[in-house]
Amino acid sequence: MLSSVLPGLRAPPPGRAASAYIAQSAFGPRFQAAVATLCTRNRVSRRDVVELCEQLFSSRISTGTADAILARASEALAEPHADLLAALRGGGAVNMDETGWRTAGERRALWGIFDRRHAYLHVAPDRHEDHAKELLAETKAIVTSDRWWAYAHLPLARRQLCWAHLKRDFAAHAEGLAAEKEFGEHGLKLSGRVFWTWEIFQNTNDRRELKRTIDGLQRDFKPIIQGYASKRARNKYCRGMARNLIKAWPALWTFAAHPEVEPTNNHAERSLRGAVIYRKLSLGTQSKDGERRIERLLSAHTTCRLQDRSLFVYLTHAITAHARGDPAPLLT
C-alpha cells in the first residue's frame, strides 16, 4: 500500500495509479513552501534562493528547480485563488485599484480587489473598463476606487471615490493661477473638513452626527464646485474636474451611510504595495504562465498578511493537499 510506504500519505483515490498520485518532486512540501515564501513574501531573487537553500537547508538546487517549485505552488493555489474572487464578489464592500506591470518587457496591468481579509490580484493586458467589468461581474458590492474611467460603468450608489486622490488633485490645482487656484483651495478646504469629520466619527462612532455633518458639507460646497464647472473662460483649467465631481457627486459621500465603507482607497494602495515592490525588483514576469503563477502567489501572500497568517504554513498545507489529490485549503 502507498500509505505504508510513505507514512502520513493517503492511499490514492480509486482508479488512480500510485505513480500519478505521488508529487512529481524530489522535495517535500515544507521545503517547497519555504522556496515559494522566500520568492514571494521576501522577494528574494532565484539566484539568491539557490544560495540560501544550500546555506540553510544543505540542499543544492538550480534556478530552474526554483521555478518548477513555484509552478507547483501555483497549481496548488488555483482553487483558492478562484475562491477568493468569488468571496470578494459576494461581499458588501470592496476596494479596487490597478497598477503597472511588465511581461517580457511589454506593458501590462495588475488589478487588485480587496476587502479587510481577502485579496485577489490579476494581471491583464491593460487598465480598460472591460477588465473591471469582468472582475466585478454581477457583484452588488460597493466599490471604493479612484476616478479612473474604467469604473464609470458602476452605479453611483455603489461607488465611493477616494478622497485621498481628490486631495492630491485639489493640491495640484491650488498651485495654478486665478480660478484654478481658487478651485484648488476650495477643494482642499472641503477635503480637510471631510477628513476631520471622519476622524471624529472614528472616535465617537456616532453615525447620525456623521451624516448630519456630511449633509452640511454637501449643501455648502456643491454650489461652489458647480460655479467652476461653467463654460466661462477663467474656468478652463479646472472645468473638467469640477464637472466630473458634479457628475459623480453622490459617489463622494457613500461612506457616510455604509458601515463597511471608508472615504479613501488607502487599503487597496497599501495592499498593492508589496506587488509593486516585487515588480520593481523582478522586472515583472516573462510569460502568460508566469502571470498566472505570480497573481496566485501574490494573492495568497497578501491575503495571509491581511489575516495575520503565516504564508509558509498555508503553502505547506496547500502543497501537501495538492500532492495527495485532496481539496485545497481555502483562504476565505
DSSP string covering 140-151: --EEEE-S-GGG
What would the mean pLDDT of 153-178 be, rounded to a whole number? 95
Within the chain, where are the H helices? 2-5, 18-21, 29-40, 46-57, 63-76, 78-89, 129-136, 163-174, 178-204, 207-227, 239-247, 266-282, 288-306, 311-324
**pLDDT tens per residue, range 77-97:** 999 999 999 999 999 999 999
> In sequence order, which residues have a C-beta less than 8 Å from that of residue 294 and are 6 or more positions away?
40, 123, 278, 285
Environment class of 196 (CB within 10 Å of its CB; exposed 0-12, middle 13-18, buried 19+) = exposed
At residue 257 the predicted structure's pLDDT band, cuts being 50, 70 and 90, is very high
Q: What is the structure's pLDDT at 64?
A: 93
Q: Is the predicted pLDDT of residue 192 greater than 50, yes or no? A: yes
The Cα–Cα gap between 185 and 198 comes to 20
At residue 19 the predicted structure's pLDDT band, cuts being 50, 70 and 90, is very low
Please answer whether residues 2 and 33 qualify as being in contact, where contact means their C-beta atoms are separated by less than 8 angstroms.
no
Q: What are phi and psi of 40, to 5 degrees?
A: -95, -60
At residue 9 the predicted structure's pLDDT band, cuts being 50, 70 and 90, is very low
Q: What is the structure's pLDDT at 25?
A: 66
Q: What is the DSSP letter of 286?
A: S
Q: What is the structure's pLDDT at 31?
A: 94
Could you tell me which residues are beta bridge partners of residue 142? Answer: 93
Q: Is the predicted pLDDT of residue 144 greater than 50, yes or no? A: yes
At residue 26 the predicted structure's pLDDT band, cuts being 50, 70 and 90, is confident
Q: Is the predicted pLDDT of residue 146 greater than 70, yes or no? A: yes
Q: Is the predicted pLDDT of residue 292 greater than 60, yes or no? A: yes
Percent of the chain, pLDDT > 70? 92
Environment class of 157 (CB within 10 Å of its CB; exposed 0-12, middle 13-18, buried 19+) = exposed
Give the chain's mean pLDDT. Answer: 91
Q: What is the structure's pLDDT at 24?
A: 59
> In sequence order, which residues have a C-beta less than 8 Å from that of residue 44 and are 6 or more positions away?
38, 52
Q: Are strands 159-161 and 142-145 parallel, antiparallel or unpaired?
A: parallel
Q: Are strands 93-103 and 106-114 parallel, antiparallel or unpaired?
A: antiparallel
Percent of the chain, pLDDT > 90? 88
Residue-range domain boundaries for the chain: 163-264
What would the mean pLDDT of 270-286 be, rounded to a whole number? 93
Using alpha carbons only, give the angle 147, 151, 153 rounded to the nearest 5 degrees. Answer: 125
Grid cell for residue 61: 538546487
Q: Is the predicted pLDDT of residue 23 greater than 60, yes or no? A: no
Q: Is the predicted pLDDT of residue 39 greater than 80, yes or no? A: yes
Taken as a whole, the chain contains a residue count of 332
pTM (2 decimals)? 0.89
Strand order in the sheet with 106-114: 119-124, 106-114, 93-103, 142-145, 159-161
At residue 27 the predicted structure's pLDDT band, cuts being 50, 70 and 90, is confident
Please answer whether residues 118 and 80 qualify as being in contact, where contact means their C-beta atoms are separated by less than 8 angstroms.
no
What would the mean pLDDT of 231-251 be, rounded to a whole number? 94
The Cα–Cα gap between 115 and 261 comes to 10
Q: How far is CA 133 from its chain centroid?
A: 16
| CA-based end-to-end distance of the chain | 35
Q: How far is CA 284 from CA 41, 87, 109, 272, in A?
A: 15, 27, 11, 14
What would the mean pLDDT of 197-213 be, rounded to a whole number? 95
The Cα–Cα gap between 15 and 162 comes to 55
What would the mean pLDDT of 279-297 be, rounded to a whole number? 94
Grid cell for residue 321: 493537499
